[in-house]
Amino acid sequence: MGPSTKKIQKIHLERRRFLKTLPLQDPKEWLSQLAALKQRLFRESSFQIVGTKVYFEISTLDWEAGPRMMLEVVGVPLLTQDNSLELVDQEACELFIHKLEGDLFHLEWGELLQSARALVSALEKSLTKSEDAALGEVFHIVYNNEKIELHFFSQKDYIQKRF
């Protein structure tokens, strides 16, 4: 028996803006990459980071590709020739949130992806039964201090620009 979608909360999100990195080569090293990204934003941009959440975007079309780290930001982009960051405006959308429970301190990246895969499958089945919505092709693993959530989208509209 697969995972239950009963613990998934559905909310509506307003428009948000993110800066997204290239795919991480080694997701285990995300903390050092996060520190470097924050330092870079502080020194080289007019962006301000919103909140404490760190987002990792995963494509359900390519599970093996590295995750792309994202930070929610506000501010006006400066024109640069740098292609290592992508500015992403996420339009208002419906969001399905699953909060992970248990011993998150020892959770490994592979286990996290396995849980996400099972939830994607369960969500797709429940959406086709209950609504005329489809699950988006990407989802987010969201770290917020000591909490981890999986964010799934019924509709994912991105307007993407290079930073």
pLDDT tens digits for range 14-50: 999 999 999 998 888 899 999 999 999 898 888 999 9
- pLDDT of res. 162: 45
Instruction: Report residue 148 as tokens.
Output: 């981890």
Return the beta strands (E) in 30-121 as ranges: 48-49, 53-59, 68-74, 85-90, 93-99
First to last CA, the chain: 44
| Residue 68 pLDDT class (50, 70, 90 cuts) | very high
Give the mean pLDDT of 123-133. 69
What is the length of the chain? 163
Q: How far apart are CA 40 and CA 20, in angstroms?
A: 13
Torsion, CA 72, CA 74, CA 79, CA 85, rounded to 10: -10
**CATH of range 8-162; options 2.60.40.1930, 3.40.50.2000, 3.20.80.10, 2.60.40.10:** 3.20.80.10
- pLDDT of res. 135: 79
Q: Where are the domains of the chain?
A: 8-162
Which among 125, 100, 101 is positioned nearest to 1, based on CA atoms?
125
- pLDDT of res. 79: 57
Question: What is the percentage of the chain residues whose pLDDT exceeds 70?
Answer: 81
